[in-house]
Amino acid sequence: MRPLKLTLRGINSYRKEQTIDFAALTSAGLFGIFGPTGSGKSSILDAITLALYAKLPRSTKNFININEETAAVSFLFSITSTETHRYQVERTFRYHKGGTASTVRNTGATLAEITAEGTKVLADRPTEVTQECIRLLGLSSEDFMRTVVLPQGQFSEFLRLKNADRRSMLQRIFHLEQYGLELTQKIAGARQKQDLLLSNLEGQMQTFADLSPDTLREYKTAHARLLEEIKDITGQKERAAQAFQEADATRSLFLEYAPVKRAYEDSLAQMPAMEEKQKALDLGRQAAQVRPFYLQAQESAAQTAAAAAALNKAREEHRLAETACQQAKKEADAASKDSLLRLPSLLKKEQDYDAARQRQETIRQWNARLSQAEITHRQTAASLAALKAQEKDCLTAGEQYQKEIAAKEEKAAGSRPSREEMHALEEGHVLEETYREKRSRYEEEKQQERAIRQQLEQEQKTLTTLTEELYTWQRQIRHSQISLRQQEDRLVTQQKKQEEEMASLREQSTHLQNRHMALILRSQLKEGEVCPVCGGIHHGEESHPEDDTRILAQIDAQKKREEALAAEAKEREEQLHALRQKLSLSDMHLETISHLLPEQRDDDKTSSLPEHPASDPLRLQSLSTEYLSCRERCAQLAKQYARLRRQNEEQYNRLQQAVSEILALRKQWNTENFTTTLSLRQKQEKDYEKLQEELTRLRGLQEENRRRQETVAARILPLSGEAAAAEKELLHYRSLIQEEEQKLPEGCDMQTDFSALREEAVRQRTALEQRQKEWAEQYEEASLTLQNKKDAMLQAGTRHELCRNNQQQAEETLQKQRTLAGFSPEEDCQKSYLSPEELTGLEKELQDFHDSFARIKERLAYLEEKRQDQHISEEEWKAKKEQLEQISALLEQQQKKEAVLAEEVENCKKQLEQKKKLSKELDAALHRRGLIRQLEQLFKGNAFIEYVAESRLRYIAAEASVILSSISNGSYELEINDKAEFIIRDNKNGGAPRPCDTLSGGETFIASLSLALALSSAIQLNGTAPLELFFLDEGFGNLDDELLDVVMTSLERLRSTRRSIGIITHVEAIQARVPVKLVVTPSDLSQGGSTIRMEYS
């Protein structure tokens, strides 16, 4: 990420809008931001962070300028991977109603990509803009600040830290907690989930305990057997159905015969009536042939009658038209005579009334002009009076403005506070706000310290309890071992006695066996024979059978005793083996406890634990795990408590220094509270500004009043002339009106309606002309009507004669057709006439009857023939039907059983598959639980987090060594020894290793700078966009000239086209070494805020 342009307004000390061109600022690779303390150098970094993440590094909320209610920032930057993309992010902030620092809100935000085609908005809501910036950079706000701003002091301290403190610092920077307690908690959570899963799987397996492949085979065998039964029953049903169908068909023939026989007899009975209908049908067909000629004759007769009636009507209308024409001629002559007598006088009246109406209109116009002149005269007089009143008011107002201006000037004198006092109060206000914020953080960290101390004390109590319980276990195991060894000694003693007894019994048994063999041999030898044993021929006394029996009994008794002793020896051996296993397990438990406990104790306190703790190894394992975990937590909490306590003490000392500084400033400016005094002075300043604004306003009003007075005086003079002219015009119009009123007709005045009189004369004239015209038109119309009626009468006579001839011809044709159809002259053929619908219906009825009769006759013959060959009783038919129903019911029942059994077979298959699947899942879960338990043992304590921290440390040291060698011209390298401590390889002295505490100030600076750059690069690896800019916010004021030269030389070697270095400092000596400078000037007495300018060396 490379910054291009930053624009900010209303942020911290920047009140007015300021723009920083980073493209020019970073052109040389090295630049500096210079300005006095508190001028706003670090606020530039705050503005970049606000633009990208909408928050400051220390979560400061009071960042809007004290004289403003809103703030805005715009940041243009580019990101280069394979291509370069430009982005612009803009945000606006404002105080919520109430104006408190704790309610600053991000009221607007946009993020857009700038391309050659135009601007593409990526996000337009504050939260979405922040998330999109994190996605583009790949860094959170904390990682961004750790990467962009390198706090040198911390890394010089980091260079000298010992192992534990350095590991703690790395753990904070790289968030290595995820490899320590968090990872252990995750593994414990995974183990609990796995145990729950195992319990669930074992519970599910219990539901399938009685299920096996044999069960499925039994279900399949029963299902196959049932299918065979269904097949047999299906064959029986088919045979029964066929037999029932044959019987039902025979029975249907017998049931059908009686209705068919009755239908045949009914048809025979209807036959005579059908013959009569046939005769009527024939006559109807003949009458239908004559029907058109009959209708034609009737129509001709009707037309002749209609023509006669029309002729009579035409003659009557001709007579009436002739009478009306004679009357119209008389009226038209009378109207023409009356019009000639009255028309001239009516025309004379119209002309007189027109002239009077025009004169009356002229008088009205002059009256209107007279009224308008009177209005103008009144308005002019009123305006003249108003202007004179305004002139008087302006004089009064001018005097009042002069008095108010004098009073305001007297009040404003000496009420404005000095610029020096305002600047000091603002500085004190900032110090107080900073103190309050630090004090709040100190209280929070102090509360956290107390909470950790309480947690540490609780864990220590738990550790003491667990330690006592382990000591009690140790004592119980030792007492148990003493008892077990005593039992072992007794069993060994008994074993030895038993072995001695067994040896004695074996000797006795051997002796008795020899005696028994000797007796057998003696009984078989004869006197004088050679003994195969001793070779003698004399054998002494003969053996007796009682001796042999007695020896055999003794041998049997000896054998039984040996078997009893062997069984006892085996049982005792098993007891010894069990005792020795217990002793071995006890030794293992003692060894485990010895590794856990810090020291041995030999007290003989009583315990409530079981007499044989070896029978509860799970409890001892759980107790060991709890002890180790508790001891580790105690160690971590103790380190955390010590670190917080040390930090809080340092913070407390800094707070005390800040209090001393604030109290000194308060004493200097004689105030108890800078914020209150600043508010009071700001109020005085605002009151002074308001007085100045009021004076400006009053002077403007005074000048405006003077100009208005001059304008009023200039308007009074012309209005006086206009008033005199209006008076003269009034007299002229009154004279003209009087002359015209005297010329009106006698007896008339201005109220007479001459238009109405003229309209009445016009109406009378028009009525005369209209009456003459109407009667002339009526006479003409009556003459035309008379001629039309005469023509109609002649046409009606002609039509009447034609209709009489047509009627005579139609009657002659009808008579001829009746004769041809077979009707006599006296016979009325219309009585036999049938309509087309009646003819069709009768034909269909006769045809249906004949067709039905033929079918019935044919079916009757068929049934009579079949009855002779087949016969079945009602009982036989019912028996076959019942047999079919029974077999069908049995088949349905068996089919239902088959469906149930088939479903059971499928369910059994599914359950076996499910059982098989659960078994695999159970094996996998057991394997995973074993792996998790191994991980628990592996990640106990801090071994893994120490390994990760050391791995990160060695990577950072290797990269820092490359940077150190580069900026020192190969003079120094950074390494880590076997104790994981930093050492410097001094190549100027033959590569001799040097501890870090032997380095000079300049050497320490370049070493810590290299380490800071390497650590910044390591943090950047978490991001997606490489950062091409970083700042050194270091107090260079404590460095001498020689060390400053070393520092600047090192920084000049580090700069490149892909990395720009910014120095934030107020040290003047550094400015000469920096090619591009951004100079920040603090706010002056005008309170315009800090300003920025760029300078080149």
Enumerate residues 6+ apart whose C-beta is below 8 A from 108: 90, 91, 92, 126
Query: Token digits for 547?
Result: 């001796």
Reply yes or no on whether the pLDDT at 73 is more than 90. yes
Question: By three-state DSSP, how is residue 991 classified?
Answer: coil
Is residue 344 assigned to a domain? no
The H or E element spanning position 85 is strand 84-95
Find the mean pLDDT for residues 491-515. 80
**Distance (Å, rounded) from C-alpha 940 to C-alpha 180?**
9
Task: For 559, list phi and psi in degrees, rounded to 5.
Answer: -65, -45
**Confidence grade of residue 607 (pLDDT, cut at 50, 70, 90):** very low
Reply yes or no on whether the pLDDT at 499 is more than 70. yes
**Tokens 């820092």, residue located:** 960
Supply the Cα-derived Rg of the chain in whole angstroms. 68
Find the mean pLDDT for residues 502-509. 80
Closest CA to 832 of 223, 379, 279: 279
Q: Which domain holds residue 65?
A: 1-138+1025-1097
Across 480-484, 861-865, 877-881, 1063-1067, least confident range: 861-865
pLDDT of residue 8: 93
Predicted confidence (pLDDT) per residue in 684-708, tens digit: 777 777 877 887 888 888 888 888 8
Q: Residue 1030 pairs with which residues in a beta bridge?
A: 1061
**Distance (Å, rounded) from C-alpha 90 to C-alpha 106?**
11
Whether residue 111 contacts residue 122, with contact meaning beta carbons closer than 8 Å, is answered with yes
Is residue 578 assigned to a domain? no
Reply yes or no on whether the pLDDT at 613 is more than 50. no
**Tokens 């007085």, residue located:** 691
Is residue 3 assigned to a domain? yes
Task: For 1029, list phi and psi in degrees, rounded to 5.
Answer: -150, 135
Whether residue 3 contacts residue 1059, with contact meaning beta carbons closer than 8 Å, is answered with no
Alpha carbon 9 to its chain's center:
35
CA distances to 279, 298, 746 from 292, rounded to whole Å, are: 22, 10, 93
Range 512-520 contact pairs with CB under 8 angstroms and sequence separation of 24 or more: 512/551, 512/554, 512/555, 512/558, 513/555, 515/551, 516/548, 516/551, 516/552, 516/555, 519/543, 519/547, 519/548, 519/551, 520/548
Predicted confidence (pLDDT) per residue in 728-784, tens digit: 877 887 787 777 777 776 777 777 777 777 787 788 778 877 877 888 888 888 888
- The share of the chain scoring above pLDDT 90, in percent, equals 4
**Distance (Å, rounded) from C-alpha 272 to C-alpha 277?**
9
Reply yes or no on whether the pLDDT at 1045 is more than 80. no
Alpha carbon 610 to its chain's center:
59
Q: Walk across the sheet containing 70-80 and list its strands.
A: 18-21, 2-9, 70-80, 84-95, 104-114, 119-123
SS3 content of the chain, % helix, strand, coil (to 5): 75, 10, 15
Closest CA to 532 of 521, 542, 543: 521
pLDDT of residue 419: 66
What are the b/e assignments for 694-706, b being 16+ CB within 10 Å?
A: ebeebeebbeebe
pLDDT of residue 606: 45
**Distance (Å, rounded) from C-alpha 481 to C-alpha 491?**
15
Find the mean pLDDT for residues 935-945. 73
Provide the mean pLDDT of the chain: 79
pLDDT of residue 248: 75
pLDDT of residue 147: 67
**Confidence grade of residue 1040 (pLDDT, cut at 50, 70, 90):** low
Is residue 1067 assigned to a domain? yes
**Distance (Å, rounded) from C-alpha 804 to C-alpha 301?**
8
pLDDT of residue 929: 83
Find the mean pLDDT for residues 961-970. 82
Whether residue 28 contacts residue 1095, with contact meaning beta carbons closer than 8 Å, is answered with no
Task: For 889, list phi and psi in degrees, rounded to 5.
Answer: -65, -40
| 430 burial level (CB within 10 Å; 0-12, 13-18, 19+) | middle
Across 235-239, 504-508, 609-613, 725-729, least confident range: 609-613
Reply yes or no on whether the pLDDT at 652 is more than 50. yes
Q: What is the DSSP string of 1024-1058?
A: SS---EEEE---GGG--HHHHHHHHHHHHHH-BTT
pLDDT of residue 100: 44
Query: Token digits for 741?
Result: 């009123």
pLDDT of residue 503: 82
**Distance (Å, rounded) from C-alpha 399 to C-alpha 446?**
69
Closest CA to 459 of 615, 627, 576: 627
Q: Specify the pTM.
A: 0.37
What are the b/e assignments for 498-519, b being 16+ CB within 10 Å?
A: eeeebeebeeebeebeebbeeb
Predicted confidence (pLDDT) per residue in 825-847, tens digit: 666 666 666 777 877 888 888 88
Predicted confidence (pLDDT) per residue in 124-162, tens digit: 999 999 999 988 887 778 767 766 765 545 556 666 666
pLDDT of residue 415: 62
Q: Residue 994 pairs with which residues in a beta bridge?
A: 984
Is residue 746 assigned to a domain? no
Reply yes or no on whether the pLDDT at 293 is more than 90. no
Q: What is the CATH number of the domain that holds 82?
A: 3.40.50.300
pLDDT of residue 128: 92
pLDDT of residue 618: 67
pLDDT of residue 129: 93
Is residue 495 assigned to a domain? no
pLDDT of residue 544: 58
**Distance (Å, rounded) from C-alpha 1073 to C-alpha 1077?**
10
pLDDT of residue 527: 63
Predicted confidence (pLDDT) per residue in 236-269, tens digit: 888 888 887 877 777 776 776 778 778 888 888 8
Is residue 304 assigned to a domain? no
**Distance (Å, rounded) from C-alpha 108 to C-alpha 100?**
19
Find the mean pLDDT for residues 902-931. 86
Whether residue 115 contacts residue 75, with contact meaning beta carbons closer than 8 Å, is answered with no
Reply yes or no on whether the pLDDT at 807 is more than 60. yes
Closest CA to 408 of 699, 681, 706, 684: 699
Whether residue 419 contacts residue 1084, with contact meaning beta carbons closer than 8 Å, is answered with yes
**Confidence grade of residue 537 (pLDDT, cut at 50, 70, 90):** low
Which of 114-128, 557-571, 783-797, 909-923 is most confident? 114-128
**Confidence grade of residue 101 (pLDDT, cut at 50, 70, 90):** very low
- What end-to-end distance do the CA atoms of the chain give, in Å? 26
Range 334-339 contact pairs with CB under 8 angstroms and sequence separation of 24 or more: 334/775, 335/771, 335/772, 335/774, 335/775, 335/776, 336/772, 336/776, 338/768, 338/771, 338/772, 339/768, 339/769, 339/771, 339/772
Is residue 402 assigned to a domain? no
**Confidence grade of residue 611 (pLDDT, cut at 50, 70, 90):** very low
Which of 147-161, 945-959, 1001-1015 is most confident? 945-959
Q: How many Cβ atoms sit within 10 Å of the Cβ of residue 1077?
A: 19
pLDDT of residue 532: 58
Domains of the chain: total:
1
Task: Give helix 754-821 / helix 271-412 axis angle, nearest 10°.
Answer: 160
Task: For 1088, list phi and psi in degrees, rounded to 5.
Answer: -85, -5
